[in-house]
Amino acid sequence: MPDRRTPRRAAATAGALGGLLAVAVLAAACDSGDGRQLAPPNPDETATLVNSTTSTVPPSSAALGSGIPGEGVGQEGLTLRAPWEDEGNIEPRFTCADGAPGSGVSPALAWSGVPAGTSNIALAVTDLSADGFVHWVVVGIDPEITGTAEGLAPAGAIQGKNGFGAIGWGGPCPPAGSGEHEYLVQLYALSKDLGLTDGFDAQPAIDAIEAASVATVSLVGRYAAAGTPTTASGAVVTTATAPTSVGPTVTNGPSPT
């Protein structure tokens, strides 16, 4: 899996350059070069200059962006927004907190900046703390679509099987006492259609997605199971415990994560 961190400094850099350019123009405006001092520009002229040279990240669609605070800026200007801040906490309704492993509702997501020529968009949500356990994988998203509502897959998209063995979203479900887990939400702009059908196997598909990706953007959310000890500030407490038995551990199927 490629580095989950993506460039996020483009907007800040553009803003800084805009500010420097404004200062340079103001300095030039006060000196004619022949010893005479010119009057400084009025405030309206200065505002016009700064606004025209400051770059901002394009907003997501109003309908899907409402109440979606987190934003990541990725390759080629691709952006992604989720209901939590990047590296922030995932709300329990998106997890298995109120039901069996694999339950929960999928989050509303919004994106923008899809590169020209993109064939389709793919989406994958995996647990970085559990060897990439898959919680959601979607392909075949029309590049004209700019997001999806809570509890729904993007219109016309094709969903694969998650790590719980079901098609579609399976919410974070870390075992009690396993500490806080990191969940990676990754959006890909693809150069070609992968020819998959509903219920496809996740891991081979993710390998194919990464091979066909021309741009990607990611966000991370954090979640710990109920009963995980925390400090007064809310930080998760991790402690080492001695094993209670000796010998191999036998499991039936993947562990909920």
Query: Higher model confidence: residue 97 or residue 122?
Result: 122
Judged against a pLDDT cut of 60, whether residue 172 lies above it is answered with yes
- Round to whole Å and give the CA distance between 77 and 55: 12
Residue 28: which residues within 8 A CB-CB, separation 6 or more?
none
Would residue 229 count as lying in a domain?
no
CA atoms of 177 and 228, how far apart (whole Å): 6
Q: Does position 233 have pLDDT exceeding 50, yes or no? A: no
Q: Are 66 and 35 in contact (CB under 8 A)?
A: no
For residues 27 and 95, state if they share a domain: no
Cα gap 81→219, rounded to integer Å: 8
CATH number of the domain at 94, please: 3.90.280.10
For residues 77 and 105, membership in a common domain is answered with yes
Q: Are residues 91 and 213 in the same domain?
A: yes
Q: How confident is the model at residue 225 (pLDDT cuts 50, 70, 90)?
A: confident
Q: Are 35 and 97 part of one and the same domain?
A: no
Compute φ and ψ for 72, nearest 5 degrees: -120, 145
Between these two residues, 153 and 254, which has the higher pLDDT value? 153
Averaged pLDDT of the chain: 73
Residue 117 forms part of a structural domain? yes
| Distance of alpha carbon 238 from alpha carbon 2, whole angstroms | 28
Do 158 and 110 share a structural domain? yes
Residue 254 has pLDDT above 50, yes or no: no
Per-residue pLDDT tens digits for 37-62? 545 444 343 222 222 222 223 333 33
How confident is residue 87, by pLDDT bands cut at 50, 70 and 90?
A: very high
Residue 251 above 50 pLDDT? Answer: no
How many domains does the chain divide into? 2
pLDDT band for 256, please (50, 70, 90 cuts): low
Quote the domain boundaries for residue 212: 62-224
